Structure formats: C-alpha cells, structure tokens
C-alpha cells in the first residue's frame, strides 16, 4: 500500500446513491449494519434526482400549467400569453433538487451512513479502490452495485456537454428554447420532454423507428395521448429513422428515412431518446466473480445476489424495468437479504407512469402481453366521458381498464390513460398484490366525484351493472 493512503472496513459498501443505492443503504443502516455509500456526485440522489425524474417532473408540472391555462379558454377564463423566464425556471429546478438532495444528506447523517464522494472500482470480491476520494481503499463484507444506467448515444456520436445533439441530461439543462427541436425516439423520455419543450414554445418534430409510440403499452391507452400530441407537436413520424446526423455551427443537419416528405432537414437542437444502457463497465467487475449478460446488465437472482456471493446488484444496472421505484424495492430487498432476513423480490405488479398530458399508467399484466402469452383475461373498460370528475376537468378522453382472470375473478392488470393518473394506479397495484377480486374493487366505496371512481365502475361493469354507464346487456 502507498504511504498516506487511508483504508477502511465496512459491513456494506453501496456503490451508487440513486433511489436503488440510497434505499439499500438506509434500510441496511436501519437493520443495524455499518454502511458506506460511494458516489461520484457530492450528494445522494443519482440520475433520478439530478438529471431524471425530479427535474423532468418539475418542468412537466409547469408545462401542465401552461396547457391548463390554454384549456381554460373554453371554460370562460382567458389568461395572457405566458412570460417565460428561463433563468428563473432553471433556478426553480435547482431549488427543488437542492431541497431534496439536502434531505438525503440529512437522512444519511442521522442514520449513520458514511457518504463518500469518489469513484469505486472493485479490486477483488471484498476490496475496492476509491479514486478522487478521501478514503482510498475499502474492505467490505458485502457490496451492493447500484450504478444505474446512462443514455444511449446516436450511433457513432457521443454526447458533448452543451452540444446541440442532446441526451435527456442536456435537454433538462434547458440552455434555451430551440425554435425547431427534433426528438429521436417515441418512448418515455421523448414524449415527456417533447411535452415540456412544446409548452415552452418549440416546434417539436418526433421520429420513431417502430410503427407506434410507447411500444409495450396497450394501444388503446396510447391512442388518446397520440391524438393530443398531434395537436401540440408539429409532427410525429412513425417507422422513420435518422440515416445521418451532422452537427454544424448553427444547427443539426439530418437525413431522415421513412414517413417524411423532405428527407433533408435542419434543426436547432436534437434530443436523442432511444433508450438507456447499464453503467456496469469501468467498476472493476473483471476482478470479481460478477457476471453480466450480453447487453451489460448484471445477472442477479430474486434476492438480487450476483454470481459473486458477497456482491449484490440493484436497479437499472441489474436489468428489467428501468424505473426508480423498482430500484428502490430491489435496494431494500438486497439490504434485508444481507442482514439475514428472508426477503425476496417477488412483486406481482410494478407500476409505470408516463407523465405526459394525458398521463398513462399501468400495472400488472397488459392486454397485449395477455394476448401474446395466451393468458385468458376479461377486459373491462370505463371511458372517462361517463365520469363526473373528468367532465368537471374537461378531460373526457381518458380511459380506465381492468384485466380480470375469468376463472378466479382476480384483478391481474390495470391500465389508465387520462389526467392525473399517476396516483390512481396505486389502487390497481394494491389490488393485484393482495389478490383482490373485481368484486373487492367494486364494493370498496370510492369518493365522489373523483377519478378513482373510474376504477370502481370498471369493476362494477365487470360484475354486470355500473351506475354511470349501461352494461352491454342493457345497451344491446
Ligand atoms: P424507451 O426505451 O422508453 O424508448 C426509446 C424509443 O426509441 C423506442 O420507442 C424505440 O423504438 C425508439 N428508437 C430506438 N432507436 C431509434 C432510432 N434510431 N430512431 C428512432 N427511434 C428509435 O427509452 P427512453 O425514452 O430513452 O427512456 C429510457 C428509460 O428511462 C426508459 O426505459 C424508462 O424506463 C426510463 N424513464 C422512465 C420515465 C418514467 O417513469 N416516467 C421517464 C423517463 C425515462
């Protein structure tokens, strides 16, 4: 060992302090373990807090205000054109992040979790080297890898800080409001950030390789969103790809192939939102027994154990759905298993929410998965035009549907498209996790007038009679 280096030992070393890492560290500390959490960032929070969920939802909240103000015109209130102060917007975002990051620092301190800023690399299955860190060497009994994921760049083009070709990180920096913005990719990031930039005044075009937006989400849930996006984006081009892209001093020149009239087009900025890949290289896995799959995701079992008995992996780096709340649960399970508890990741329903306008949320089985896997389900839909609450909000385009196992009557999937679906989906998660019957959902009293009634009434419809909609039996 080099003189002057500081070595430490810890029960648990957590690498990465996003929602997977900090949830693991906090749970382990609550269970009595001595925990050290290492991250290159100064404060815990990870991609989610600093350049993902939280900044994007901060901006989406504001873009919803702008869209709502426009909608109010049809209801008798006319606001003036919004004055947008980008500097103030960025400061507000920084404030939100700051408040939450400081909260995490305080929670770490009060739990006795040592938070180190630095870059960790495994030297063996029980030691790691820490670079640019006040501690240079760590011996651990267990480690949890929670290093997350990063945006996939356009082939042959790395993201440059401040460049016109941006990842979600660049787009969330909100350097300016480009007049002409091209978004590559019609997934979560493309649709959410496209909504933000369109509200701020950009003319947004979107190209998507597949023949639909949000592949993997049931088409009937995506349809109301697609219709709305057609009104706020300049255009959406499905089955279209970027053949070439060249950044110049005053724009980005592209050649598009597919559903476009003019293949050669120039934009002020381009957002590349074509997915994320695991951050699993560069952490010294070759010095351990940890195995990765062909896409770089770390292989884990249902206890989040890797193929190295001392090392666990959670969150995006461990594959599966790349969602913060999935990482959080996995982090807790890993901490509990390390503390000797009989814990496992055995969830039946991981909810997903797309924070567009309208939002889409779903959990459990989707209708298209059921069809593809030949799983018999009865699907019951409740269109929001029959909901009093949706009508008061001028939001009749929404849809709530439940999927029921016809043999047992159990709810196996819930999907919702509409305003404010984000909180509504939790009823579906609880129902599926508890093995609830459609009857349980129907007989639970839902407050009136709320959007949650659409779930209760979908379940009532399944049973044959719902208050605000005629059942097929009656209407036919
Ligand atoms: P995504 O996988 O959701 O969507 C990527 C889209 O890009 C796909 O529709 C794909 O067909 C398309 N695509 C791929 N290559 C293309 C190309 N060359 N040209 C045109 N289209 C192309 O990925 P994302 O939107 O980058 O999001 C990354 C991850 O971040 C997601 O998996 C999601 O889990 C997570 N995320 C979640 C939320 C949320 O929970 N609200 C928000 C943002 C991101």
What's the pLDDT band for 4 if we cut at 50, 70, 90? low
Whether residue 368 is predicted with pLDDT greater than 90 in this model: the reply is yes
Nearest by Cα to 447 from 436, 459, 455, 437: 455
How high is the mean pLDDT of the chain?
96
The answer to whether the bond into 449 is cis (omega within 30° of 0) is: yes
Average pLDDT over residues 246-274: 95
Q: Return the ligand 1 atom nearest residue 241 CA.
A: 19
Whether residue 474 is predicted with pLDDT greater than 60 in this model: the reply is no
Average pLDDT over residues 165-172: 98
Looking at residue 332, its pLDDT comes to 98
Whether residue 467 is predicted with pLDDT greater than 80 in this model: the reply is yes
Residue identifier of the C-alpha nearest atom 12 of ligand 1: 185
Which residues, at least 6 apart from 296, have a Cβ–Cβ distance to it below 8 Å?
A: 277, 278, 280, 281
Looking at residue 5, its pLDDT comes to 87
Judged on CB neighbours under 10 Å (0-12, 13-18, 19+), 472 is exposed
pLDDT in tens, 227-239: 999 999 999 999 9
* Cα–Cα distance measured from residue 257 to residue 241, given in angstroms and rounded to the nearest whole number: 5
Ligand 1 midpoint to CA 188 (Å): 5
pLDDT in tens, 204-221: 999 999 999 999 999 999
Domains of the chain: 7-150+278-338 (3.50.50.60), 165-273 (3.50.50.60), 352-464 (3.30.390.30)
pLDDT in tens, 182-197: 999 999 999 999 999 9
Sign of CA dihedral 10, 12, 13, 19: negative
Ligand 1 midpoint to CA 62 (Å): 22
Strands 359-364 and 352-354 come out as: antiparallel
135: left (phi over 0), alpha (psi -120 to 50) or beta: beta
Which residues, at least 6 apart from 11, have a Cβ–Cβ distance to it below 8 Å?
A: 28, 33, 34, 35, 140, 141, 142
The residues that are catalytic are 448
Residue identifier of the C-alpha nearest atom 4 of ligand 1: 187
| Residue 154 Cβ contacting ligand 1 at under 6 Å | no
pTM: 0.96
Residue identifier of the C-alpha nearest atom 33 of ligand 1: 322
pLDDT in tens, 405-451: 999 999 999 999 999 999 999 999 999 999 999 999 999 999 999 99
pLDDT in tens, 117-146: 999 999 999 999 999 999 999 999 999 999
Whether residue 476 is predicted with pLDDT greater than 50 in this model: the reply is no
What's the pLDDT band for 249 if we cut at 50, 70, 90? confident
Nearest by Cα to 138 from 152, 151, 125: 125
For ligand 1, mutation pick of 275, 318, 323, 324 (most atoms within 8 Å of CB):
275
Ligand 1 midpoint to CA 43 (Å): 27
């Amino acid at each position: 060992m080099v003189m002057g280096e500081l070595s430490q030992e810890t029960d648990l070393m957590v690498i990465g302090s996003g929602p997977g890492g900090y949830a693991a560290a906090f749970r382990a500390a609550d269970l009595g373990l001595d925990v050290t959490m290492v991250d290159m960032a100064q404060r815990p929070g990870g991609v989610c807090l600093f350049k993902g969920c939280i900044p994007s939802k901060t901006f989406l909240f504001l873009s919803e205000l702008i869209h709502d103000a426009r909608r109010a015109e049809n209801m008798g209130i006319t606001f003036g054109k919004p004055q947008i102060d980008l500097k103030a917007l960025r400061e507000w975002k920084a404030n939100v992040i700051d408040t939450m990051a400081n909260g995490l620092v305080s929670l770490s301190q009060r739990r006795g979790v040592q938070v180190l800023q630095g870059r960790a690399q495994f030297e063996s299955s029980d030691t790691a080297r820490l670079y640019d860190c006040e501690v240079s060497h760590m011996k651990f009994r267990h480690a949890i890898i929670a290093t997350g994921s990063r945006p996939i760049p356009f082939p042959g083009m790395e993201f440059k800080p401040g460049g016109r070709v941006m990842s979600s990180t660049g787009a969330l920096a909100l350097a300016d409001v480009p007049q002409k913005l091209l978004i590559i990719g019609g997934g979560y990031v493309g649709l959410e950030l496209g909504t933000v930039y369109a509200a701020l005044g950009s003319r947004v075009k979107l190209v998507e390789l597949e023949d639909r937006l949000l592949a993997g989400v049931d088409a009937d849930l995506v349809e109301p969103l697609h219709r709305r996006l057609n009104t706020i984006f300049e255009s959406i081009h499905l089955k279209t790809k970027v053949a070439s892209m060249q950044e110049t001093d005053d724009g980005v020149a592209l050649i598009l192939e597919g559903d476009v009239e003019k293949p050669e087009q120039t934009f002020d900025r381009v957002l590349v939102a074509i997915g994320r890949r695991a951050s699993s290289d560069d952490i010294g896995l070759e010095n351990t027994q940890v195995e990765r799959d062909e896409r770089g995701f770390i292989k884990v079992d249902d206890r989040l154990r890797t193929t190295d008995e001392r090392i666990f992996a959670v969150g995006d780096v461990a594959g599966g759905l790349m969602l913060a709340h999935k990482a959080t649960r996995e982090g807790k399970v890993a901490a509990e298993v390390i503390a000797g508890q009989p814990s496992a990741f055995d969830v039946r329903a991981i909810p997903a929410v797309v924070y567009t306008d309208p939002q889409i949320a779903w959990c459990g089985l989707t209708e298209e998965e059921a069809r593809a896997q030949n799983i018999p389900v009865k699907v019951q839909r409740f269109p929001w035009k029959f909901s009093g609450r949706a009508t008061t909000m001028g939001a009749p385009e929404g849809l709530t549907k439940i999927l029921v196992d016809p043999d047992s009557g159990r709810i196996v999937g819930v999907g919702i498209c509409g305003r404010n679906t984000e909180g509504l989906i939790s009823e579906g998660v609880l129902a599926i996790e508890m093995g609830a019957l459609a009857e349980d959902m129907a007989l639970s009293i839902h407050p009136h007038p709320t959007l949650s009634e659409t779930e209760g009434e979908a379940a009532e419809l399944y049973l044959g009679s719902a208050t605000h909609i005629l059942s097929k039996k009656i209407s036919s």
